[in-house]
Chains A and B, each alone.
Chain A
């Protein structure tokens, strides 16, 4: 469906993506994970045709839409309008002067659909996305969840071959994130469309598990491949992560790393990594209010921000090192340990069950 081969992009001297490859099959729902500024949006824009790679090849549905020689000479370039790609930018980019209905109809008008065909298609999409009572609204009057629905409806109105979603949950209120994630998954499976979405939030990969790619060191790798190299993370379900900068490492919000990787902080200046990504399964975490001293445990400490009850069980929301972790806890253990909001807690992870990745960007 989508095949990216040896794609390279740099801005000035900074190499963003270094000969990356990625392949999606029809109806795949793929997630591209990585911290801000590693080139996720750049990749989507290159697939859509807004941005040109320095070299490499992009194929959509067995058709080469971009190819460039190593010399940088562009051999094939299909303009964005002809690529049949649906794009939902991070800010949705709904046209403020057009109503919901007009926004959805815009690409159809651009593509010269007949008046009746446009009307039928818009009616169908408005019903499908439950936008019936917002037809005549201008975008500024809509909530971010509704804006997202309009943007997706507009992006798929002309039946693109692939849908690109850039950080679909970034501007969504955290309270509604879970329901909107679920809603989006339902819409996608109903449409039966190939999707590539980006996110910086590891929580998202618990909801969209088909295929997860990670951008590390200007390379794209499949997460399951990275994890299976280490140990038992075969499924990405219930996975969590922490992304720490060197300052946060020094301030000691995570301890135990000193033993896992000797001279870590000294090495930082030499190897030039900017972040470390700690990936672990939330089931492996042991939560306690008492501090342990152990060589074989990785310790993360933080403050309980909230206790969440859901059909899946209870979760503690812990804020640690300017990040939020959502860790499961059983009802009986919650009662026994008497966790409450504002408590200082320690999360312990056996070192051999943790994957630490060094990221240079």
Chain B
């Protein structure tokens, strides 16, 4: 039996070396911090209620904002993928602009809108967005909507238009064809997009802090709680939040990868 020998290739060796270094660094940083946190936890004061509050608030707001973003971006992306009109490039750039903006800047823009503009103050008076849980949802929504539009536009563009056209011949109208045939067909990409949006919303800090503030037991999501706990030197809370969020993101990543593995045959 012959064993296949690897061809000696300096570029390949370099890439391999870089990958190994990255993995080692990652394991070291994570491992050390985690071990340090665990020892810190054993000597700290117990503050379970704040951890649970932050955890449930994060899951709730991220769930709400990613659902809203997905539902909003489906018609927009479908339209962008299927229609040709003058100034399409401009519209696309405008819709994706928040992606390139630092979240903090986006949060400040939103804050100014809700406190200074006539429309914004009107909405804020009725719905109470600024320094409130609703502000968290709005901030997360603003950050993840462009991501969702970006992904779904490419999903819809890669879909053979024959599927939609045929649905019309088979007896659907355009909106029912989208709802009953096309969306079920792209269920897997939709779910993996949702998971991605959810994980991004879960970690959203910059825009949230600017619009909703960092108020304990009110607008205290996981990253905000982490920021508050770290600044006030509460090691137990800091470490337990890190552990909880690491578990949560690991689960999410596994789910995303499982869904992405099953691509639609289009």
Contact in complex: A79, B173 (CB < 8 Å)? yes
Q: Cβ of A48 and Cβ of B169 under 8 Å apart?
A: yes
Stretch of B25-33, B97-105, B146-154, B158-166 on the interface side: B158-166
Cβ-defined contact, A89 with B171, below 8 A: no
CA distance A83 to B169 in the complex (A): 8
**Closest Cβ–Cβ distance, residue A148 to chain B (whole Å):** 14
Question: How many angstroms from the CA of A22 to the CA of B163 in the assembled complex?
Answer: 28
Given the known A-B contacts A95-B163, A97-B184, are A50 and B170 also in contact in the complex, defined by CB atoms under 8 Å? Answer: no
Cα A49 to Cα B170 with chains together (Å) = 11
Query: Measuring CB to CB, which residues of chain B are less than 8 angstroms from any residue of chain A?
Result: 160, 162-163, 165-173, 176, 180-181, 184-185, 187, 264-266
Residue of B167, B171, B173 with most partner-chain A CB within 10 A: B171
Smallest CB separation, A164 vs chain B (Å): 9
Residues of A within 8 A of B163 (CB): 93, 95
- A266-279: CB near B (< 8 Å → 1, else 0) gives 00000000000000
Query: Could you say which residues of chain B place their CB within 8 Å of the CB of A89?
Result: 162, 165-166
Q: Judge whether A246 is part of the interface by a CB distance below 8 angstroms.
A: no
Chain B residue with the shortest CB-CB distance to A112: B171
Contact in complex: B171, A45 (CB < 8 Å) = no
B264 proximity list for chain A (CB < 8 A): 96-97
Q: A106-B181, A154-B170 are in contact. List 12 more A-B contacts (CB 8 A).
A: A45-B165, A49-B169, A79-B173, A81-B173, A85-B169, A87-B166, A89-B162, A93-B160, A93-B163, A93-B166, A97-B185, A107-B171
In the bound assembly, the distance between CA atoms of A106 and B171 in angstroms comes to 9
* Interface membership of chain A positions 105-133, coded 1 if the CB is closer than 8 angstroms to chain B and 0 otherwise: 01100110000000000000000000000
Is A23 in the interface zone, CB < 8 Å from B?
A: no
Which residue from B173, B176, B181 sits with its C-beta under 8 Å from A95?
B181
| Inter-subunit contact B265/A96 (CB<8 Å) | yes
The interface size of chain A toward B, counting residues with CB under 8 Å, comes to 24
The 8 A-B pairs with the shortest beta carbon distances in the complex, nearest first, are: A110-B171, A107-B170, A80-B168, A93-B162, A50-B165, A111-B171, A81-B171, A96-B265
Report if A291 contacts B (CB, 8 A).
no
Say yes or no for A91: interface residue by CB 8 A criterion: yes
Bound CA span A151–B232, Å: 66
Interface pairs (18), CB distance under 8 Å: A48-B165, A49-B169, A50-B168, A50-B169, A81-B168, A81-B169, A81-B170, A81-B172, A85-B169, A89-B165, A89-B166, A95-B163, A96-B265, A96-B266, A97-B184, A110-B171, A110-B176, A140-B265
Which residues of chain A are within 8 angstroms of B169 by Cβ–Cβ distance? 48-50, 80-81, 83, 85-87
Nearest-neighbour CB distance to chain A for B189, whole angstroms, equals: 11
Minimum C-beta distance from A82 to chain B (A): 9
A118 vs B173: C-alpha distance when bound (angstroms): 20
Given A79-B173, A96-B264, A140-B265: A49 touches B168 (CB 8 Å cut-off): yes
A68 to nearest B CB, angstroms? 19
By a CB distance below 8 angstroms, the chain A residues around B172 are: 81, 110
Residues of A near B173 (CB, < 8 A) are: 79, 81
Smallest beta-carbon distance B43→chain A, Å: 54
Which A-chain residue is minimally distant from B184 (CB atoms)? A97
A158 within 8 A of B: yes
Contact among A96, A107, A110, A111 with B185 in the assembled complex (CB-CB below 8 Å): A96
Complex CA distance for A315 and B170, rounded to whole angstroms: 42
- Output the nearest chain B residue to A103 by Cβ-Cβ distance: B170
* CA–CA, A91 and B166, complex, Å: 11
Distance in angstroms from A167 CB to nearest chain B CB is 13
Residue in B162, B167, B187 whose beta carbon sits within 8 Å of that of A97 in the complex:
B187
B180:A91 contact, CB within 8 angstroms:
no
Option from A79, A96, A97 in Cβ contact (under 8 Å) with B168: A79
Cα separation A85 to B165 with both chains bound (whole Å): 13
Q: How distant is the Cα of A87 from the Cα of B264 in the complex, in angstroms?
A: 23
Contacts of B170 in A (CB 8 A): 81, 106-107, 110, 154, 158
Across the interface, B160 reaches (CB within 8 A) one of A50, A81, A91, namely: A91
Chain A residue contacts of B265, Cβ below 8 A: 96, 140
- B residues in contact with A111, CB < 8 Å: 171
CA–CA, A160 to B179, complex, Å? 24
Chain B residue at smallest Cβ distance from A96: B265
Residues of A within 8 A of B176 (CB): 110
B187: chain A residues within 8 A (beta carbon):
97
In the complex, which residues of chain B have a beta carbon less than 8 angstroms from the beta carbon of A49? 168-169
Report Cα–Cα, A140/B266, bound state, in Å: 10
A93 to B185, CA, bound (A): 12
Cα distance, A106 to B182, chains bound together (Å): 12
- Is B166's CB under 8 angstroms from A110's CB? no
CB-CB nearest in chain B for A50: B165
CB of B21, distance to nearest CB on chain A (Å): 41
Q: Which residues of A contact B185 (CB under 8 A)?
A: 95-97
Residues of B close to A158: CB separation below 8 A: 170-171
The chain A residue sitting closest to B163, CB to CB, is A93
CA distance A86 to B166 in the complex (A): 9
With the chains together, A87 CA to B181 CA distance in Å? 17
How far, in Å, is A196 (CB) from chain B's closest CB?
14
The chain A residue sitting closest to B177, CB to CB, is A110
Instruction: Give Cα distance in the complex from A96 to B182, angstroms.
Output: 11
CB-based nearest B residue for A90: B162
* Residues on B with beta carbons closer than 8 Å to the beta carbon of A91: 160, 162
The minimal Cβ–Cβ distance linking A47 to chain B, given in whole angstroms, is 10
Residues 68-104 of chain A, each 1 if its beta carbon lies under 8 Å from chain B, else 0 = 0000000000011101011101010101110000000
| Alpha-carbon distance A74/B266, docked complex (angstroms) | 34
